[in-house]
């Protein structure tokens, strides 16, 4: 292919597109949408400050407790708040439908609550206008609208036949048109990433992880727009008229953006049904009851445990043990209930992952799903990032409860079984020495390990779109 011919065809395509006033109207609309999406996304800054302030308040409340029994402190508990990822303003993902705070206490794993959806109207289910949503959903429609006439219209008015008789080759025409269309698509795309870059700088995010994520997001979306451009030119070359090309491209948009994503979600929920919150909690509590109640002194399981402990230490009564037996029982009860919860929780996560796997698998036939999954993952608003917060919060809760149990075993007299009274207490300095909860976002490598299919899909569709263009460069007709 001759470079000068490619540039000439691409440049001519640009001139023809910008002769129409419609392109300026589209650009104006996209700029307005960008400003609105960027403004909406900046709310993450206020929300993070809100969550940081409440995490600080929860910590101050924890440290303000006077000298008291450790078990009472374990039930006093504290809160864990999930901070938004710095790139969450680019792609909201599932952020609005997942909770952001959880109360941590002994013997009980509470659900993450206070999602934005729980405080919003049902209109939220139609989606939020984020920068990622505009690029993945609206931009393909704009590209289809701009490029559907690229080849079909020239075939209709005879211009295509003139180009071929003047020495231009089919592959040069198609590639030149594709370059021209992609160049126009970049005019719509790049402002989003420039805005994201500026917003990260303003917020003072200088970490390597954030910039690597932004670089990958940019690469993913530029590849996505290039794929859409190649598909658009291929369809235009294969269509006998501009009208047919537009109908086919609109059908593809409906299939890619609306039908397949909705279908994959519905099928996933149908084939891999998950229990309700009430059913989930009931199953855990039923199994815990089967093991025994650590708060019941006459419970058979813990009676057997007591006899075993007395035998090991060669004593006749728990008052003769070198530690507080009640603290030991609480520790064992906490261990049992946590193991049961983690098993049920992991089973639930596996079921959700099976649902998500259907959507990921369909990404092989739908590049939009692949881009959506990668965008959420790189923006830190995906399912696995949320799960990682839940696991960190549960680990912290378990360590807190067991630390309080250890304090009870160590500092409370062996014969004391009650948590009441001013004598059965531990110094308040112990509360301050226990570290506060700090959420550490999942690393980029750990996040991407779940998106192998999506990465493969993007590469696959890039190859398929190139093959489409090559096929029509050999088989297309001028009339």
More reliable by pLDDT, 89 or 206: 89
Residue with tokens 């023809």: 16
8 A C-beta contact, residue 415 and residue 323? no
Residue 112 has a pLDDT of: 82
Residues contacting residue 370 through CB under 8 Å, at least 6 positions apart: 363, 364, 453, 454, 455, 457, 458, 461
Residue 370: both structure tokens together: 């692949």
Residue 28 CA, chain-centre distance (Å), reads: 30
Residue 423 has a pLDDT of: 65
For the segment 148-163, what is each residue's pLDDT rounded down to a tens digit?
Answer: 988 888 888 877 777 7
For residue 108, give the DSSP letter. Answer: E
For the segment 327-359, what is each residue's pLDDT rounded down to a tens digit?
Answer: 888 898 899 899 999 999 999 999 998 888 888
How many folded domains does the chain comprise? 1
8 A C-beta contact, residue 465 and residue 231? yes
For the segment 256-311, what is each residue's pLDDT rounded down to a tens digit?
Answer: 999 988 888 888 888 888 888 888 888 888 888 887 777 676 778 888 888 888 88
CA–CA distances in Å: residue 398 to residues 74, 77, 268, 403, 427 = 10, 11, 33, 8, 21
CA–CA distances in Å: residue 479 to residues 154, 164, 165, 240, 476 = 10, 11, 13, 8, 9
Helical ranges in 260-365 per DSSP H: 260-271, 277-291, 300-313, 325-362
**The length of the chain, given as a count of residues:** 479
Whether residue 114 has pLDDT greater than 60: no
Residue 420 has a pLDDT of: 58
In the chain, count of helices (H) and strands (E)? 20, 3
Nearest-angstrom CA–CA distance, 49 and 97 = 20
Q: 121 — phi, psi (to 5°)?
A: -80, 175
For the segment 307-330, what is each residue's pLDDT rounded down to a tens digit?
Answer: 888 889 898 888 888 888 888 888
Residue 441 has a pLDDT of: 84
Q: What is the overall mean pLDDT for the chain? A: 87
Residue 84 has a pLDDT of: 87
Identify the sign of the CA torsion 444, 449, 454, 456: positive
Find the mean pLDDT for residues 392-405. 94
For residue 113, give the DSSP letter. Answer: B
Residue 118 has a pLDDT of: 44
Residue 287: both structure tokens together: 């199994």
Helical ranges in 105-169 per DSSP H: 131-133, 139-147, 152-157, 159-165
Percent of the chain with pLDDT over 70: 93
pTM of the model: 0.88
For the segment 1-34, what is each residue's pLDDT rounded down to a tens digit?
Answer: 778 888 888 888 888 888 888 899 999 999 999 9
Per mean pLDDT, which range of 8-12, 110-114, 168-172, 447-451 is the poorest?
A: 110-114
In this structure, the number of other CB atoms found within 10 A of the CB of residue 145 comes to 17
Identify the sign of the CA torsion 250, 251, 252, 254: positive
Nearest-angstrom CA–CA distance, 404 and 425 = 11
Range of the domain at 170: 3-475
Whether residue 143 has pLDDT greater than 90: yes
Residue 53 has a pLDDT of: 92
In this structure, the number of other CB atoms found within 10 A of the CB of residue 394 comes to 19
Residue 119 has a pLDDT of: 41
Find the mean pLDDT for residues 84-104. 87
SS3 string, 236-263, reads HHHCCCHHHHHHHHHHHHHHHHHHHHHH
8 A C-beta contact, residue 376 and residue 93? yes
Q: What share of the chain is helix, strand, coil (3-state, %, to 5)?
A: 75, 5, 25
For residue 117, name the pLDDT band (cuts at 50, 70, 90): very low
8 A C-beta contact, residue 263 and residue 255? no
3-state secondary structure (DSSP) of residue 470: helix
For residue 145, name the pLDDT band (cuts at 50, 70, 90): very high
Residue 58 has a pLDDT of: 93
Residue 453 has a pLDDT of: 92
Whether residue 123 has pLDDT greater than 60: no
Per mean pLDDT, which range of 75-79, 101-105, 184-188, 472-476 is the poorest?
A: 472-476
Nearest partner of 174 among 158, 156, 190, 154, judged by Cα? 154
Q: In what order do the strands lie in the sheet with 101-105?
A: 78-81, 101-105, 108-109
Nearest-angstrom CA–CA distance, 1 and 173 = 10
Residue 124 has a pLDDT of: 44
Residue 48 has a pLDDT of: 83
Residue 274 has a pLDDT of: 86
Residues contacting residue 371 through CB under 8 Å, at least 6 positions apart: 136, 220, 221, 224, 454, 458
Residue with tokens 């590849």: 223
Residue with tokens 């009931």: 282
């Amino acid at each position: 292919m001759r470079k000068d011919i490619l540039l000439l065809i691409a440049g001519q395509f640009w001139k023809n597109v910008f002769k129409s006033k419609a392109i300026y109207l589209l650009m104006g609309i996209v700029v307005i949408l960008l400003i609105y999406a960027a403004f909406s996304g900046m709310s993450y800054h206020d929300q993070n400050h809100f969550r940081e302030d409440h995490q600080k308040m929860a910590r101050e409340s924890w440290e303000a407790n006077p000298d008291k029994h450790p078990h009472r402190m374990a039930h006093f508990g504290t809160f864990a708040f999930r901070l938004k990822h710095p790139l969450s303003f680019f792609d909201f993902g599932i952020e609005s439908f997942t909770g952001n705070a959880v109360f941590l206490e002994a013997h009980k794993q509470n659900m993450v609550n206070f999602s934005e959806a729980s405080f919003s109207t049902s209109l939220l289910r139609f989606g939020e206008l984020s920068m990622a949503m505009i690029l993945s959903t609206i931009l393909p429609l704009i590209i289809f609208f701009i490029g559907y006439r690229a080849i079909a219209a020239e075939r209709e008015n005879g211009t295509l036949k003139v180009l071929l008789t003047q020495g231009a080759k089919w592959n040069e025409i198609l590639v030149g048109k594709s370059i021209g269309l992609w160049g126009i698509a970049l005019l719509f795309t790049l402002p989003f990433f420039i805005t994201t870059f500026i917003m990260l700088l303003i917020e003072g995010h200088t970490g390597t992880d954030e910039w690597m994520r932004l670089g990958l997001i940019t690469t993913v979306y530029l590849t996505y727009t290039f794929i859409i451009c190649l598909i658009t030119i291929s369809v235009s070359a294969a269509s006998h008229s501009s009208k047919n090309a537009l109908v086919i491209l609109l059908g593809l948009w409906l299939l890619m953006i609306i039908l397949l994503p909705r279908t994959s979600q519905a099928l996933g929920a149908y084939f891999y049904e998950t229990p309700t919150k009430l059913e989930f909690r009931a199953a855990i509590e039923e199994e815990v009851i089967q093991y025994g109640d650590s708060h019941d002194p006459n419970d058979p399981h813990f009676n057997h445990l007591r006899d075993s402990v007395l035998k090991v230490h060669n004593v006749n009564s728990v008052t003769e043990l070198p530690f507080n037996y009640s603290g030991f029982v609480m520790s064992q009860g906490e261990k049992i209930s946590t193991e049961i919860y983690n098993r049920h929780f992991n089973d639930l996560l596996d079921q959700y992952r099976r649902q998500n796997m259907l959507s990921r698998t369909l990404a092989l036939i739908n590049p939009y799903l692949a881009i959506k999954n990668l965008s959420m993952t790189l923006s830190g608003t995906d399912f696995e990032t949320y799960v990682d917060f839940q696991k960190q919060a549960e680990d912290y809760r378990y360590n807190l409860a067991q630390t309080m149990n250890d304090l009870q075993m160590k500092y409370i007299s062996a014969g004391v079984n009650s948590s009441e009274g001013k004598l059965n207490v531990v110094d308040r300095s112990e509360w301050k020495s226990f570290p506060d909860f700090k959420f550490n976002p999942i690393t980029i490598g750990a996040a991407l390990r779940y998106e192998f299919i999506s990465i493969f899909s993007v590469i696959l569709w890039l190859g398929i779109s190139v093959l489409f263009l090559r096929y029509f460069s050999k088989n297309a007709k001028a009339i």
